[in-house]
Structure 1
Amino acid sequence: MTVEQSKTTTIPPQKPLRVLHVTFNMGIGGTEQVIRQLIQGMAAESVESEILCIDGHIGPIGEALQQAGVAVHKVTRKQGFDWSLIKVIRKRLRERRFDVVHCHQYTPWMYGWLAALTTRAKVVFTEHGRFYPDRYRYKAMLINPVMAMFTPSVVAISEATKDALVKYEFIPRKKIQVIYNGIAPLSRDESEAQKVREELGIPQEAFVAGTVSRLDPVKNQQMMLRAFKKFAETHPDAYLLMVGDGPDKAILMELADELGIGDHTLFTGFINKPQHHLSVMDVFLLSSHTEGTSMTLLEAMSLGIPAITTRVGGNPEIVVDGKTGILTETECVDSFAGAIRQLAGSKQLCEDLSKSSAKEFTRKFTQKQMIKSYITSYEGSRRSNTP
C-alpha cells in the first residue's frame, strides 16, 4: 500500500447496536417505564431496539411504542418450564442478528440466557425490584451463580436491590453493577395544572397530597388512606389525589368512604402523562412495602415536589431524609400522617425541600445518566463478541 493510498483508507463505521428487550409485558409499571425511557433515549444514540413480551400481551406502554414505530412482539409463555419459548427467542436473536438481549426481571433472564447460548447476542440482566416479602429459592443457589458467570452485565436498580440479589439469588456481589433508574425531566405548565385542578373540583387554596402509582397491595395505599384520614382531622379542607389503576382500586375507594374521606379522595384512573396532575400536588406520597427505584418518585422530584416515602428498598437512596423529603416507617400511620402535617404547616420547609429535591434529581437520576451507563454495558458486551 502506498503512502497516498494509506491516507485515503478509512476504518468502516461500526454498525449500530441492535438490542432485544425481553420482558413479561409492556403494561403499566416501573419496569415498562424504564424500557420506554431506554428505547426512546437510545434512538438518538443510534441504538436499534425491539421488545419481546413473553406473557401473551403487549399492554398500553407497548402499544404506544408501536405507534411510535418501535417493533414490539408478543409470545404466550406456556405453564411450567416452556422449552419452546427458548427456541422462539433464539430464532429472533439469530434472524435479526441482535448484539444484546436485555432481560428485564428474573424469568426473562432465565429464558433469554438459555436462548442466547448458541447465538452472537450477549446477555444483560436487570433486576427491577423484589417480591414482598422476599424469599429464598434454594434451586437458585446452584443455577444463578453459573448464569451470572456467563452474563456479561448484571444490573440492580438500587443498592438495596443489589443486596437482595446477593442474599436471595446467590449472585456474587462483585458481579452486580448498580444503575439507578432515570427519566427525562418533566416540565411544569401552570395553566395546564390549573385546568386539572378545576376539572377535579379542587379549590384553589386547598392543600393537595397525592400519589401516582399502581393501586396494588404492595404499594400499601390502605396505610396512606388511614394516614390521610388522621391528617384530615386537623386539615379538613385538604385533598388526596390518587392517580393510577390496579387490582386494589375498588377496595381503596370503599375504604376511603368508610374512613369518611371519600369526598376529598380523588381517584383518576391511569393517566398516561401525569405531569399536570403531579403539578397539582403540594406533597408526593409513596407508602410502599418495597421499592427499587420508583419512576413516579423521580417524576415528582424532577418537578421539585417534596416527597414523603416509606423507608424501604431503594427509597432511602433517593430521598435524603430532611433534605429532599421525609422518610417514615412502612406501617406507621401516625408518623406518615405527622409528616404530611409537618409539610402542610410549613411553606418554607416545602420550598427548601422542593429546591433540594430538584437538585438531587439532576445530580443522580436523569435519563441521560441511565442511558450512558447502559450503553457502556451494551458496548462492553459487543466488544466481547468481536473476534
Structure 2
Amino acid sequence: MSDPARPIKIVRIIARLNVGGPAMHVTLLTRYLGPPEFESHLVAGRVPDNEGDMAYYAERHGVEPAYLETMSREISPRSDLRTLVELYRLLRRIRPDIVHTHTAKAGLVGRVAAWMARVPVIVHTFHGHVLRGYFSPRKEQLFRKLERGVARVSSVLLAVSEQVRQDLIELAVAPPDKIRVMELGLELQRFADAPRAGMLRAELGLGHEVPLFGFCGRLTAIKNPDLLLRAFALARAECPALHLAILGDGEERGPMEQQVAELGLGGYVHFLGFRSDLPPLVADLDALVLTSDNEGTPVAVIEAAAAGVPAICTAVGGVPDIVADGETGWLAPAGDAQAVAAACTAAARAPDERRRRGQAAQAAVLARFSEHRLARDMAALYHELLDR
C-alpha cells in the first residue's frame, strides 16, 4: 500500500530516446507524474548516430534522463549483462515503489533487474511488438519465450491499442486479465493550434493550390517506404501536380532516394529530414500517408489528425483504431500499392472531402489522446497496483 506521507517513487526505463511515440510517452509521464505525489526517474540508453535523438524533447520538458551507456537496442550478451547489473544497482539505490519499462530491450532487462531488486510493482508498456513479422521464426520463438518469462514477474502489461492487446493474447504472452489497454497521450494542442500559414509550401516553393501529401517518421523497413513511393508514382500518373514531403530520416533514406530517381519522381518527392518544428509543417499538408507493414499506435497519424489533416494508411496493427475509413481518413490493404494509390488519387481530387475527414479526425483525437488524460489514467493505475 502506498504511503501518503511520502511521494511514490517511479523508475521509468526505455532503451533509447529516439524519434517516435515511446520517447514522447515516457517524457510526458515523467514530467506530469512529479511532486508532490510522485518522484519520477527516467533511465535510457544512448541513441546511435544514425537515428534521430529526442533528447531535446526531454530537455524542453525539464526531464533529465540518467543514461546507461551499455543499454542499446541490439542484442549483446556482454553489454546486456552489464546493463542488468547497472540497473540492479540503480534500483537498489533509489528503492522505487514502481518500475515501468518501455520498448523490448528495456522491458526485458529492466523487468529482470526490478525483480532481482524486489521492486513491489513492475509494469511494462507494449508500444507495439517485435514478436511477429520482424525476425526469423527461430528468433521469434526465442523472443516470445523471453516475453512470457518476464510477463510472469510483471504486475500488469499495458498495450497502446486493443489490436496490440489482442496480438499479445493470441501469442500467449500472458493471461488476458493481465493485459490492459492504456492509449497514448500526446501534446496535441500545439498541432490543433498550428496555423495553416503555408510554411512548408514556402520552403518547397509550392503554391497553395498544389496538392501536398506527407510522410512523417523514421525511414525504416517496417514503414515499407518502397510501397509508399510506388503508390505515389501511380497516384502521380493520375494527378501530375501531386507532391510528397518526407519529414523524417533513417537507414532507408538512401534506398528511397535511389528509388525516387528510378521512378522519375525527382522534384516531386522532398526529403526534409527530422524536424523539431513539426506542427506548422504538418498543418500545411493536405494528407498524411502511412504504408507500414505493422504499427502499434501511429503517433504521426494522431498528430496529423490533431492538425485537421486526414490520413491515408494501410490497415495494419493499431491503425484502424485511429483511422475510420470513409470518416476520418482512407484505409487500404497492407502491401497493396494500387489501393494506396487509388486512395491518394481520390483524396487529391476531393479537397472538400479532405477537409471534412480532417475535421472529423481532429474531433476524434483531441480528448482521447491528450497528455493530461494519460497522466490521470496512469496515476490511477499506479495507485491501484500499490493498494493491492
TM band (smaller chain): 0.7 to 0.9
Partner of 1:310: 314
User: Do the aligned partners of 1:129 and 1:161 also contact (CA within 8 Å) in 2?
Assistant: yes
**Corresponding residue for residue 58 of structure 2:** 65
Letter in 2 for 1:73: A
Instruction: Give 1:292 shift.
Output: 0.3
Distance of 1:45 and 1:223 partners within structure 2: 49
- Counterpart CA distance in 2 for 1:366 and 1:162 is 21
Q: 2:34 aligned with 1:34, yes or no?
A: no
The residue identity in structure 2 corresponding to 1:200 is L
**Higher mean C-alpha displacement, 303-312 vs 87-96:** 87-96
CA gap 1:80/1:240 in 2 versus in 1, 3 angstroms: same
CA distance in structure 2 between the aligned counterparts of 1:378 and 1:222, rounded to whole angstroms: 42
Q: 1:200 to 1:25 in 2, by over 3 A?
A: same
* Counterpart in the other structure of 1:133: 133
Residues 1:163 and 2:166 aligned together: yes
After superposition, the Cα gap between the structure-2 partners of 1:140 and 1:197, relative to the gap in structure 1 and judged at 3 Å, is: closer
Superimposed CA distance per residue, residues 146-170 of structure 1 (whole angstroms, 9 cap, x where no aligned partner)? 5334322210111221122223353
Q: 1:152 maps to what in 2?
A: 155
Given candidates 223, 231, 238, the residue that maps to 2:235 is 231
Q: Distance in 2 between the 1:253 and 1:39 partners?
A: 38
- Is the contact made by 1:309 and 1:327 (CA closer than 8 Å) also made in structure 2? yes
Report deviation, 1:274.
0.8
- Counterparts of 1:207-356 in structure 2, within 5 Å, are 207-356=211-360
* 1:177 paired residue number: 180
Which stretch shows the higher mean deviation, 143-152 or 349-358? 143-152
Instruction: Return 337-346 or 193-202, whichever deviates more.
Output: 193-202
Find the residue that maps to 2:374 and give its secondary structure.
Answer: helix
Distance 1:142 1:26 in 2: 26
The CA distance in 2 between the partners of 1:107 and 1:361, in whole Å, is: 30
Summarize the Cα distance change of 1:298–1:374 in structure 2 as closer, same or farther, 3 Å threshold: same
Relative to structure 1, the CA distance from residue 203 to residue 105 in structure 2 (aligned partners, 3 Å threshold; closer, same or farther) is same
- Residue 53 in 1 paired to residue 49 in 2? no
Q: 1:110 to 1:195 in 2, by over 3 A?
A: closer
Relative to structure 1, is the Cα distance of residues 210 and 119 closer, same or farther in structure 2, using a 3 angstrom cutoff?
Answer: same
Tell me the secondary structure at the aligned position of residue 192 of structure 2. coil
- Contiguous gaps of at least 5 residues in structure 1: 1-11
Structure 2 gaps of 5+ residues are none
Instruction: Say which SS state the counterpart of residue 334 (structure 1) adopts.
Output: helix
Alignment coverage as a number of residue pairs: 372
After superposition, the Cα gap between the structure-2 partners of 1:64 and 1:326, relative to the gap in structure 1 and judged at 3 Å, is closer
Q: Which moved more, 1:329-338 or 1:373-382?
A: 373-382
CA separation of 1:83/1:222 partners in 2, compared to 1, >3 Å: closer, same or farther? closer
Distance 2:267 2:142 in 1: 50
Contact 1:227 1:333 in 2 (8 A): yes
Letter in 1 for 2:113: A
- CA gap of 1:169–1:14, structure 2 versus 1, over 3 A, is farther
Structure 1 length as normaliser, TM-score?
Answer: 0.88
Larger radius of gyration: 1
**1:245 aligned counterpart, secondary structure:** coil
Matched, 1:115 2:113: yes
Report what 2:95 is aligned to: 97
Q: CA deviation at 1:295?
A: 0.9
After superposition, give the CA deviation of every residue in 1:307-341 in whole Å (9 maximum; x if it has no partner).
11101000011111111111101211111111111
For residues 44 and 198 of structure 1, the distance between their equivalents in structure 2, rounded to whole angstroms, comes to: 44
Distance 1:179 1:90, change over 3 A: same
Task: Classify 1:284/1:86 alpha carbon distance in 2 versus 1 (closer, same or farther; 3 Å).
Answer: same
Q: Could you tell which deviates more after superposition, 91-100 or 282-291?
A: 91-100
Question: What is the distance in 2 between the residues matched to 1:85 and 1:211?
Answer: 35
Matches of 2:18 and 2:206, distance apart in 1: 30
| TM-aligned CA deviation for residue 305 of structure 1 | 0.8
Percent of residue pairs bearing the same amino acid type: 25
Counterpart residue identity of residue 124, structure 1? V
Cα deviation, 1:347-371, whole Å, max 9, x if unaligned, reads 2211221121111103522222222
Amino acid at match of 1:170: V
Select 1:190's aligned residue among 192, 195, 204: 195
Distance of aligned partners of 1:48 and 1:347 in 2 relative to their CA distance in 1, 3 Å threshold? same
Is 1:106 the counterpart of 2:104? The answer is yes
In 2: Cα distance, 1:14 partner to 1:305 partner: 47
Q: 1:119 to 1:245 in 2, by over 3 A?
A: same
C-alpha contact 1:116 1:123 (8 A) present in aligned 2: yes
Question: Measured at CA, do residues 276 and 83 of structure 1 come closer, stay the same or move farther in structure 2, by a change above 3 Å?
Answer: same
Q: Distance in 1 between matches of 2:124 and 2:303?
A: 24
Amino acid at match of 1:177: R
**Contact kept? 2:123, 2:156, Cα under 8 Å:** yes
Residue 79 (structure 1) aligns with: 76
- Any conservation in 1 of the 2:295–2:317 contact (CA below 8 Å)? yes
Offset at residue 144 of structure 1 (A): 4.5
Residue 119 of structure 1 deviates from its aligned partner by 3.3
Please give the alpha-carbon distance, in whole angstroms, between the structure 1 residues aligned to 2:234 and 2:146.
48
Cα 1:87–1:318 shift into 2, 3 Å: same
Asked if 2 retains the 8 angstrom alpha-carbon contact of 1:97 and 1:121, the reply is no
Distance (whole Å) between structure 1 residues aligned to residue 178 and residue 77 of structure 2 = 29
CA RMSD of aligned residues (A): 2.5
